[in-house]
Amino acid sequence: MTDESGSNPTTGRTTDTDGNEQTTDQDAVSSADTFSIAEFHEASQHDGRPVLTAAAVARALEIPHEEATERLEVLAERGDLERLSVSTDPVVWYPTELEDLTDRERVLVFPKRREIVVDQPEQFTRAQLAQFAHLADGNGEGGYRYVVRPEDVWQAPHDSFEGLERTMRQALGQRSDSLETWVESQWDRAHQFRLVTHEDGYTVLEAKRPEVMGNVARQKLDEEHVHAPISETEDWVREGAEAAIKRILYEAGYPVQDQRNLESGEDLEIDLQVRLRDYQRTWVDRFAEAGEGVFVGPPGSGKTVAAMGAMVHVGGDTLVLVPSRDLARQWADAVVEYTSLEAHQVGQYHGGRKEVRPVTIATYQIAGMDRHRSLFDDREWGLVVFDECQHVPSDVYRRSTHLQSRHRLGLSASPIREDDRQTEIFTLVGPPIGTDWQALFDAGFVAEPELEIRYVPWGDDEQRNAYVSAEGRERYRIAAENRGKIDDVRYLLSAHPDAKALVFVDFLEQGRELSAALEVPFLSGETPHHERRRLLEEFRRDERDLLIISRVGDEGIDLPTADLAIVASGLGGSRRQGTQRAGRTMRPAGGALVYVLATRGTREEDFARRQLQHLGRKGLTVREQTVGHDGEE
C-alpha cells in the first residue's frame, strides 16, 4: 500500500512516475547507521591504503558517492574515523586509531580474505592466534599478517568449537560473525570422518552422517581402499590402505581423525634430563592431545629435545627415521645425553650398523627397503619420529610411512615442498604444531641472523662469455661457479676474522676451487664418513673455524656453533634449502650473519631474492648489496 505521495510507509521507499522504486533519505540513514569500522578497513584493504576518500569507499563498496560520504560522517561522529582536508581532494578519512599506533596493539580483521593484520601484538595475542591461524608475513617491526587456512582450523587444539570460538574472540578482541561462521564450517568438516578399530580387529571408516559418507567417501574411495559397506555410515577398510584414505579425504577437504587401537609397543621407562622451554612444553602438550603432529620451528629451536619430551609422554619403544647416518649418530648421542636411557638401549640401523633396540634410529632409505622392512614391521612401535619430515612425500621415503604406530611425530624447520605435496606431510604424519619464528627471536631462544644478498661481478671474461652463449641449467651452473665469488668470500672472511664460518656450495668443482684457494677442507658426499665425522668434531670443539660444505650439509648434520654462513651457490634449489642454509646460524648465541652471493646480472639474482622472501616473511631482515670489483661495497 502507498500513500498519496507514492511513498510506502512500510518499506521506506517511493516510486517515481515511471513506477521505479527509489530509496528515501530514511533508508540511506539506516544504511549509514549499519556501516562499521570493519567495512572501512575492508575498503582500505581493497584500495591498498589506510587513508581513503569518499570516492574510494564508494568504489570499494559499490555504493553511490553521496551514500559513502554519509556513512563516513556517521563513523566520524562515533569517533571511529577522523577527517582531514587536503589540497588534492576535499576530504580524506582515516581510522582514529592510526593516530596512536606506536606502542599499542591493534588488530584488524578482513573476514572475506580470512586475514588478520596485527600491529604491536602482545605475546598472549600471538599465542592465541597461533592456535587457529598461520603467520604469513612478519616485517620484523611489529607488524604481522595472519591467514586462517582450513588446515589451521582442522588442527586447532580444542575439544569443541565453543572453545575455539572463545580463543578467537580473545585474540581478536571482537566478534567477527562471518569469519566465525566459516571457521565453524571447517571445524565441522574436521569431525566428519574417523578411523576406528572394530572389535574383531579390522579397521572401519566411520562418517558422522550418511550423506557425507555417500557424497564424499564413497565417491572418492574405491576397492583399493575399502572392502564393502557395513552400514550407511561405516565402511570396512582394506589392511594397509589407511594412509591412502587419510590422504585422499584430506585433499577432498575432510581430514580424518585416526582413533584406531594401534599398538603401543613395549613399555619403556624414560625420563628427560633437561627442562623443556615453555614453547617446547606447549608443543609436547599439543602432541599429547592429538597423538600425532609435526613440530615446526627454526633450526636451533630444540625440536629434537622436544621430540624426546614426546618420547617420555608415550613411554614406549620408539623408531626415529632420519635422512643420513650422520644424523642417526647425532640422534643416538643426544638421546643418551638428554634422557635417562643408557647407550645399550639405543640402537642405530643403517649402512654402518644394524641394531634394533628399544629406541632405534634408522635412515629412511634402509627402512623402506624390502629386505629390511620386516625387521621394523615385526616390532611394535609406540612412537615413530620422522626427522626432516619434508622428505616423507617423496616416493622413496613414503614407503616408511606404512609403519603406522599409535603415535607419529614429524620434525621440520620448513615443511615446504616445491612439488606442492606438503599436505601429504600432514596426512601421513600429523598436523603442524609450532611457534612463530619471530616469537622465538624476541624471546632470545633463537638468534635472528642478519641476511644479506651480495651481487658479485664476474671474475673473468671467459666465464661471462660462456654464460652468454649457454642455455638452461648450464647458464645457472656457470653463474653459480663464478670465480669472482672466491674474492668476495676472502673479503667476507677477512671482515669477520673471529667468526666460525661455513661456506656452502652447490657444485663440486666450485667447492674444490674454494678449498684450494682458501686452503681449507671441502666436505662433500665424496668425503668418507670417518673423515666427515672428524672434520665436524674438530669444528664443534673449536679446533677448526672454517669449512666448505656441499649439499650434504643442508640436512642431516648439526653445526650448532656456526656464527657466519656464506652461501656461495645453491639458492636456486628450493625455499627449503634457503631455510636450511640460513638456519645453520640460528642458535641462541647472537650476532649471526648470512651472506648469499649471486652473480650480478644473471638469473641467480632472481633466485636469491625469491628463495629468501620465504625467510623475510618469517620476520628476518634481508638486505641487498652490490659488490665492486675489489670485493668492497
Q: What is the CATH number of the domain that holds 543?
A: 3.40.50.300
C-alpha to C-alpha distance for 124 and 108, rounded to whole angstroms: 16
Which residue from 54, 43, 46, 47 is spatially nearest to 83, judged by alpha carbons?
A: 54
User: What is the domain count for the chain?
Assistant: 5
C-alpha to C-alpha distance for 389 and 420, rounded to whole angstroms: 14
Confirm whether 266 is domain-assigned: no
Q: Please, are residues 388 and 323 in contact by the beta-carbon 8 Å criterion?
A: yes
Q: Please, are residues 442 and 565 in contact by the beta-carbon 8 Å criterion?
A: no
Residue 354 is given by DSSP the state: B
C-alpha to C-alpha distance for 22 and 18, rounded to whole angstroms: 11
Confirm whether 41 is domain-assigned: yes
Residue type at 165 in one-letter notation: E
C-alpha to C-alpha distance for 412 and 423, rounded to whole angstroms: 14
Calculate Rg over the CA atoms of the chain.
Answer: 29
The CATH number covering residue 31 comes to: 1.10.10.10
What is the domain extent for residue 489? 447-626
How crowded is residue 371: how many other Cβ atoms within 10 Å of its Cβ?
A: 7
- Same domain (yes/no): 432, 483: no
Global pTM reads 0.57
- Same domain (yes/no): 371, 335: yes
Confirm whether 265 is domain-assigned: no
In 3-state terms, what secondary structure has residue 70?
A: helix
Residue 52 is given by DSSP the state: B
Q: Decide which of 98, 122, 141 is a domain's last residue.
A: 98
* Per-residue pLDDT, 78: 82
* Per-residue pLDDT, 419: 42
- Same domain (yes/no): 283, 419: yes
Nine cell digits for residue 116: 588478520
Residue type at 143 in one-letter notation: G
CA dihedral 5, 10, 12, 13 (to 10 degrees): -60
Which residue from 594, 546, 555, 593 is spatially nearest to 573, judged by alpha carbons?
A: 555
Confirm whether 269 is domain-assigned: no
Give CA separation, 25 vs 14, 93, 389, 482, 616, in Å: 10, 23, 62, 72, 50
- Same domain (yes/no): 474, 545: yes
* Per-residue pLDDT, 405: 66
Give CA separation, 418 vs 355, 414, 619, in Å: 35, 12, 21
Query: How would you list the strands of the sheet with 359-363, edge to edge?
Result: 346-349, 359-363, 318-322, 383-386, 407-412, 292-296, 432-434
- Same domain (yes/no): 197, 185: no
Condensed to tens digits (0 to 9), the pLDDT of residues 345-378 reads 999 998 878 888 999 999 888 876 766 666 666 6
Query: How would you list the strands of the sheet with 193-197, edge to edge?
Result: 226-231, 234-237, 203-207, 193-197, 256-259
* Per-residue pLDDT, 86: 53
Quickly tell me which residue has 641472523 as its cell. 449
C-alpha to C-alpha distance for 434 and 279, rounded to whole angstroms: 8
- Same domain (yes/no): 165, 311: no
Residue 173 is given by DSSP the state: S
Confirm whether 398 is domain-assigned: yes
- Same domain (yes/no): 243, 329: no
Nine cell digits for residue 272: 628427560
Q: Which residues of 27-61 are buried (b: 16+ CB within 10 A; e: fewer)?
A: ebeeebeebebbebbbbbbbeeeeebbbebbbbbb
Give CA separation, 527 vs 412, 518, 520, 534, 550, in Å: 26, 18, 14, 11, 10
Q: Decide which of 437, 466, 488 is a domain's last residue.
A: 437
Question: What are the residues facing 118 on neighbouring strands?
Answer: 107, 144
Instruction: Give just the sign of the alpha carbon dihedral 174, 180, 183, 184.
Output: positive
Which residue from 294, 268, 421 is spatially nearest to 347, judged by alpha carbons?
A: 268
- Same domain (yes/no): 286, 392: yes
Residues of the chain with pLDDT under 70: 1-34, 45-50, 85-90, 96-104, 138-142, 263-265, 368, 370-378, 391-405, 414-427, 436-449, 551-562, 571-592, 611-621, 629-633
Nine cell digits for residue 557: 648434520
- Same domain (yes/no): 317, 198: no
* Per-residue pLDDT, 433: 84
**Percent helix, percent strand, percent coil in the chain, to nearest 5:** 40, 20, 35
Confirm whether 409 is domain-assigned: yes
Which residue from 550, 607, 557 is spatially nearest to 583, judged by alpha carbons?
A: 557
C-alpha to C-alpha distance for 7 and 402, rounded to whole angstroms: 73
Give helix 177-189 / helix 161-172 axis angle, nearest 10°: 150
HSE of 118 in the Cβ direction (CA atoms, 13 Å)? 27
Residue 208 is given by DSSP the state: S
Q: Which residues of 381-414 are buried (b: 16+ CB within 10 A; e: fewer)?
A: bbbbbbbbbbbbbeeebbbbbebbbbbbbbbbbb
Q: What's phi and psi for 99, nearest 5 deg?
A: -75, -15
- Same domain (yes/no): 181, 60: no
Q: Are strands 622-626 and 450-456 parallel, antiparallel or unpaired?
A: parallel
Confirm whether 632 is domain-assigned: no
- Same domain (yes/no): 427, 286: yes
HSE of 626 in the Cβ direction (CA atoms, 13 Å)? 2
* Per-residue pLDDT, 24: 42
* Per-residue pLDDT, 588: 44
Q: Decide which of 157, 189, 221 is a domain's last residue.
A: 189
Counting every residue written for the chain, the total comes to 633
Confirm whether 631 is domain-assigned: no
Condensed to tens digits (0 to 9), the pLDDT of residues 603-612 reads 888 777 776 6
- Same domain (yes/no): 493, 570: yes
* Per-residue pLDDT, 174: 84
